Amino acid sequence: MGGTGAVRDMEEARVGTAAHEVLAVVFQVRAGRLCVLLWRRARPPFEGDWVLPGGRLGADEGLGQSMRRQLAQKVDVRDLAHLEQLETRGAPDRHPEGRTLATAYLGLVPAHNEPVIPGDTAWHAISELPPMGFDHAAIVHSGRRRLRAKLSYTNIGFALAPPEFTMSQLSGYYRAALGHDVAATNLRRVLLRRGQIEETGRSVPSGRSGGRPAAVFRFRVSHLEVTDEFAVLRPPPKRAEKIY
């Protein structure tokens, strides 16, 4: 028993002296694709590779306070509609310069915003990530899994969409985030039933193909709400191939 306790105390001591950094996985739907904000490292390790915005936790900072400070150097935090803690990673070998814990946050920028970003920072489609340093690519994919899950059981779509939208537009944002087709009529039915969206009473003219004007909707609230904790937005079933 004493031996086990001593080993545990030694491990806790090692973790307690580890450096700690905060990282941001910031997503935005751009040109129909889910994109993540990355910056290019200018020094080793992983010089020239792309990484997530972030940095070391200050001695007198809380995690959230540090995250907002770090983000302010890359993007105006007022452009974010949602920010939440995602995960903490502590593998001993995740940083080549020594034991470093990392707490990652998930941030979402609505599609109508165009954040001003510095020259060493750029948006990248997560389906085409560039070479990335550390374990940051894995953290990006973890962020997407979180977003996909929350689109099913919460109203987090408000943080991807502009204040007002047609259902065709909204289904495009969901399609980009989920990675599969989302029918506008089905999405409308589901989100209305869950009380997430409401009609504004306005409409926009139809396109060149004619047809009825498209109704304009908005999310009922602009903060996170769990609307159906057991819901899952599944991809449409594949059509059976014909056998001749």
Please determine, for residue 15, whether its predicted confidence score (pLDDT) is greater than 70.
no
Alpha carbon 100 to its chain's center: 23
Confidence of residue 236 (pLDDT cuts 50, 70, 90): confident
Distance CA 155, CA 225 (A): 6
Please determine, for residue 2, whether its predicted confidence score (pLDDT) is greater than 60.
no
Please determine, for residue 241, whether its predicted confidence score (pLDDT) is greater than 60.
no
The top-scoring range by mean pLDDT among 8-12, 70-74, 119-123 is 119-123
Three-state SS at 39: strand
Helix, strand, coil share (%) of the chain residues, nearest 5: 30, 25, 45
Residue 16: what pLDDT?
Answer: 54
Instruction: Give me the percent of the chain exceeding a pLDDT of 90.
Output: 78
Residue 243: what pLDDT?
Answer: 35
- Overall residue count recorded for the chain in this entry: 244
Please determine, for residue 89, whether its predicted confidence score (pLDDT) is greater than 50.
yes
pLDDT tens digits, one per residue of 170-214: 999 999 999 999 999 999 999 999 999 999 999 998 666 667 899
pTM: 0.88
Alpha carbon 57 to its chain's center: 21
For residues 97-111, give the mean pLDDT: 96
- Continuous H helices in the chain: 2-16, 63-72, 136-153, 167-178, 184-193
Please determine, for residue 14, whether its predicted confidence score (pLDDT) is greater than 70.
no
Mean pLDDT of the chain: 89
Please determine, for residue 1, whether its predicted confidence score (pLDDT) is greater than 90.
no
Distance CA 231, CA 180 (A): 17
Query: What domains are defined for the chain?
Result: 15-151 (3.90.79.10), 152-219 (1.10.10.10)
Please determine, for residue 68, whether its predicted confidence score (pLDDT) is greater than 90.
yes
DSSP conformation letters of 169-213: HHHHHHHHHHSS---HHHHHHHHHHTT-EEEEEEEE---TT--SP
Residue 18: what pLDDT?
Answer: 86
Distance CA 38, CA 4 (A): 42
The lowest-confidence range among 72-76, 97-101, 147-151 is 72-76
Residue 9: what pLDDT?
Answer: 41
For residues 29-48, give the mean pLDDT: 96
Please determine, for residue 12, whether its predicted confidence score (pLDDT) is greater than 90.
no
Please determine, for residue 10, whether its predicted confidence score (pLDDT) is greater than 60.
no
Strand 33-40 relative to strand 50-51: parallel, antiparallel, unpaired?
Answer: antiparallel
Please determine, for residue 20, whether its predicted confidence score (pLDDT) is greater than 70.
yes
Instruction: Give me the percent of the chain exceeding a pLDDT of 70.
Output: 89
Please determine, for residue 3, whether its predicted confidence score (pLDDT) is greater than 60.
no
- Please list, residue by residue across 152-172, b when 16 or more beta carbons sit within 10 angstroms of its beta carbon and e when fewer do: bbbbbbbbbbeeebbbebbbb
Distance CA 94, CA 87 (A): 14
